[in-house]
Structure formats: structure tokens, C-alpha cells
């Protein structure tokens, strides 16, 4: 099989891969860059929650991939299937090989739908839906509009998952819709986690939001099976993994997630299957000419587009320093942002960094849901995203701050 060679090979044409490619081309237009990405379309996935809540049009979340491949970068429309880092080589699905001087792995995260027994057979019908699917997000809104009574379940699997606030975003959008329609729905949130959120101040605030809606929250509950026609969800509960069956009229499912299989089986993976990187500079722990970005890495940041926006200039700066023989000094503090929709016109803007540091971008208590943040989520962030993957990152003003133990007045 033929072997091609490029100065920089980027695996993945999602938010991370395109943002890094655009940053590199912006600073060094002469670089020889190849992007390995099989998909013909690019998706703005953060808006799928809004689609499920009836506040966004699904077609606006998809654009042609070719529009965002940087000029003069080579687009290789294939799937990478293996890495041979000792030979600086990537193996593609057709058996051909790509050699590189520098590699950037931005392969995203894998949605493991088949780990929930019966889910594949019933997803998109029988009241079983998921905003983690382009095909199903509109069905979520259909389910909300079609149910006038009964029980609605919303689930969250064990971490890590991409956009860890998304399971709650649709929970609150649904509760808000039912409340405004005057419907007495039994709305429940079943999470495999031990709290509402991974950062304590926001967890406390979101528990208050759930309380304001009168939602039933169950912790340590992991969904393992769905019987769509029978309207039964089966959970494993606690360390003993006892089985619990719960009836439903509709259920929103978030699938278990992991690094892609071809990464888990590669020399780049750590013991848990993620690309093993230094959490500050995103360089591989064993191979100095490999960097990674986004959901596929071992870095303990929240897997969000906001994290990618911060990491892209770090990876590109350090990679360019390697090329020119300079010292690579760019560093990432773990910043991520999760705009949690607490209703159809308010958002709690959860911003944080490594080790639970609270890092808001705006004045005021970030735990207070605000209409201004809804406008940010609904209008500004989609516009910023499409600019980000084209190389325009926008302003950054997050800064660490201490919060009072006392919650602000929370009205979702």
C-alpha cells in the first residue's frame, strides 16, 4: 500500500481538529497539513439540547464539512484505524498509511448505544429519545408536546461524557414546558453520579433548581436496559448493582461513552483508553511529537466546546514552537463552560477549571440563572462556534473567583 507523508497530520475534523488546523494555518500558511475525517458534514452539537426543547431548528446545526477545511490543507476522507507511533505512521481504513512529523489526535468520543440492552431497537420511537443523536433530537420535542400526563425519565450515565450538563439541560427545559402548559407530569432524573454536578458550588445550585421544579432526583442509578414497547427502564443501583425496574411514558437517554475503539487499542492510550497527555500542554506522555485535543484525551477537563476553544491555541502554539526549535511554553488551566438551560429563557452559566476552581467570565454570581445567559447560549455561542473552527476564537475573560457558601436567589 502507498504511504504518503505530511508535516502535520490531524486525526479528526470536529471542533478540536479544525480549530487547531485553522490556528496553525493562520500563523504559518505554508505548513503542510492533512486532516483525516470521513464525515461530509460538521455538526454544532451543543444546540441539539435546544432542538429537543423546541427552541432551535435541527437543520441549522449541520453544515458541509468542506466549508471549514482550511485553505490548502489536504482533506483525507477516511477513518483512521490504528497508530504506529514508533514509525510516525497512521493506518487508514483502506490499509494505506500516512507518515507525519507531528501528529494531533482530535478523534472525539464514542457513544456506546449498544451498552444499554434494547436501546438501539427502540430509540426514536415508543417515547424513547436522546438529544445526543441528530436524528432523535427533534423527536425529543415531539415527545414533550405529545405527553399530557404520565412519567418522564431523564438519565445520565457514569462520567466521563461530552457536555456533562446536557442531561440536565433537557430535564429543565422539559420541566419548564410542562409547568407552562399546566401539566402534572411525574418528572424524574436518574444519574449514575453522586451529585447533580461535578463542581460542588454548581451542584448545590442545580439541586435547588431541581427542587424548585419539584423533580425527583435519584443518584447512583445507572440505566442498563430499555424495553420500549413495554415502557420499562432497568437501572443498576449502588455498589451492589441491584436491578430496579421503572415504568415510563417517555424517557430521554444519554448513552455511555468512551474513547474510540481504535484509540483504546493503540499505544497512545492510557489504562482507561484515553490518549495519555500532560494536562497542561496536551503533549503525549510518551511521544513528544504527538499532541491531542478534545474529548479523546486523558486530561481531566470537562468535555465541552469551551474547553476546545481554550486548548486549540495552546496546542498550536506548542506545536509551532516544536517546529521552530523554540521552547514550548503555552499552558491550559482546565477551563470549561457549561451553560445549563434552567428554563426556556434562563441559563446558569457554569464556568470552572481544574480542581474545581470557579472561573466566571462575567460579574455577578454565576450560580444565578439569567436571561442574558440564555441569549448568549441561543444566539452568540452558535455564531462563535462556527467562527472558532475557522480560526477566530473571540475574547476570553475568565478569571478565578471565590464564591460565598450562601446561594443567591434562584428562580429557574
Q: Is 344 helix (H, G, I), strand (E, B) or coil?
A: coil
Q: Which domains does the chain have, with CATH numbers?
A: 3-109+259-334 (3.50.50.60), 111-256 (3.50.50.60)
Q: pLDDT confidence of 135, banded at 50, 70, 90?
A: very high
pLDDT in tens, 156-166: 999 999 999 99
Alpha-carbon span 282 to 301, nearest angstrom: 11
Q: Quote the pLDDT of residue 2.
A: 63
Whether the CB-CB separation of 175 and 187 falls below 8 Å is answered with: yes
Q: Name the pTM for this structure.
A: 0.96
Alpha-carbon span 375 to 397, nearest angstrom: 18
Q: Quote the pLDDT of residue 236.
A: 98
For residue 275, the cross-strand partners are: 269, 297
Whether the CB-CB separation of 263 and 85 falls below 8 Å is answered with: no
For residue 258, the cross-strand partners are: 110
Q: Is 283 helix (H, G, I), strand (E, B) or coil?
A: strand
pLDDT in tens, 323-332: 999 999 999 9
Instruction: Establish whether 136 is a catalytic residue.
Output: no
pLDDT in tens, 159-200: 999 999 999 999 999 999 999 999 989 999 999 999 999 999
Query: Residue 370 carries which DSSP code?
Result: B
Exactly one of 143, 163, 296, 350 is catalytic; which is it? 163
Could you give the dihedral angle defined by the CA atoms of residues 348, 256, 232 and 149, in that order, rounded to the nearest 10 degrees?
20
Alpha-carbon span 390 to 105, nearest angstrom: 18
Alpha-carbon span 311 to 315, nearest angstrom: 6
Instruction: Establish whether 163 is a catalytic residue.
Output: yes
295 exposure class (CB count in 10 Å sphere: 0-12, 13-18, 19+):
buried
The residue among 198, 129, 231 whose CA lies nearest residue 170 is 129
Alpha-carbon span 268 to 297, nearest angstrom: 10
pLDDT in tens, 353-410: 999 999 999 999 999 999 999 999 999 999 999 999 999 999 999 999 999 999 999 9
Residue 104 confidence (pLDDT) above 70: yes
Exactly one of 136, 143, 296, 338 is catalytic; which is it? 338
Amino acid at each position: 500500500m502507498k504511504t504518503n507523508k505530511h508535516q502535520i497530520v490531524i486525526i479528526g475534523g470536529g471542533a478540536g481538529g479544525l480549530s487547531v488546523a485553522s490556528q496553525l494555518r493562520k500563523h504559518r500558511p505554508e505548513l503542510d497539513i492533512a486532516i483525516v475525517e470521513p464525515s461530509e458534514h460538521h455538526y454544532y452539537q451543543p444546540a441539539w439540547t435546544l432542538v429537543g426543547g423546541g427552541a432551535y431548528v435541527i437543520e441549522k446545526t449541520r453544515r458541509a464539512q468542506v466549508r471549514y477545511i482550511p485553505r490548502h490543507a489536504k482533506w483525507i476522507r477516511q477513518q483512521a484505524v490504528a497508530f504506529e507511533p514508533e514509525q510516525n505512521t497512521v493506518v487508514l481504513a483502506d490499509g494505506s498509511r500516512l507518515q507525519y512529523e507531528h501528529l494531533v489526535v482530535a478523534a472525539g468520543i464514542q457513544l456506546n448505544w449498544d451498552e444499554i440492552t434494547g436501546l438501539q431497537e427502540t430509540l426514536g420511537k415508543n417515547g424513547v429519545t436522546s438529544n445526543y443523536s441528530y436524528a432523535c433530537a427533534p423527536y425529543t420535542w415531539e415527545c414533550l408536546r405529545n405527553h399530557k400526563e404520565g412519567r418522564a425519565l431523564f438519565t445520565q450515565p457514569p462520567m466521563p461524557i461530552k457536555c456533562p450538563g446536557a442531561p440536565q439541560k433537557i430535564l429543565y427545559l422539559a420541566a419548564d414546558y410542562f409547568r407552562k402548559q399546566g401539566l402534572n407530569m411525574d418528572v424524574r432524573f436518574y444519574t449514575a453520579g453522586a451529585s447533580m454536578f461535578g463542581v460542588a458550588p454548581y451542584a448545590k445550585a442545580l439541586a435547588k433548581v431541581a427542587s424548585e421544579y419539584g423533580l425527583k432526583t435519584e443518584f447512583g442509578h445507572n440505566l442498563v436496559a430499555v424495553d420500549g414497547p413495554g415502557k420499562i427502564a432497568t437501572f443498576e443501583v449502588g455498589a451492589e448493582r441491584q436491578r430496579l425496574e421503572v415504568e415510563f411514558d417517555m424517557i430521554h437517554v444519554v448513552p455511555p461513552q468512551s474513547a474510540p475503539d481504535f484509540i483504546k487499542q493503540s499505544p497512545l492510550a492510557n489504562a482507561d483508553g484515553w490518549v495519555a497527555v500532560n494536562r497542561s500542554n496536551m503533549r503525549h506522555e510518551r511521544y513528544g511529537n504527538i499532541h491531542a485535543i478534545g474529548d479523546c484525551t486523558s486530561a481531566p477537563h470537562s468535555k465541552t466546546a469551551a474547553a476546545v476553544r481554550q486548548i486549540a491555541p495552546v496546542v498550536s502554539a506548542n506545536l509551532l514552537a516544536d517546529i521552530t526549535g523554540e521552547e514550548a511554553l503555552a499552558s491550559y488551566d482546565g477551563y470549561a463552560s457549561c451553560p445549563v438551560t434552567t428554563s426556556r429563557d434562563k441559563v446558569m452559566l457554569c464556568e470552572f477549571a481544574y480542581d474545581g476552581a470557579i472561573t466566571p467570565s462575567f460579574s455577578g454570581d454565576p450560580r444565578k440563572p439569567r436571561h442574558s445567559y440564555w441569549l448568549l447560549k441561543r444566539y452568540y455561542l452558535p455564531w462563535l462556534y462556527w467562527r472558532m473552527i475557522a480560526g477566530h476564537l473571540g475574547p476570553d475573560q475568565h478569571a478565578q473567583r471565590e464564591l460565598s457558601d450562601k446561594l443567591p436567589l434562584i428562580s429557574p
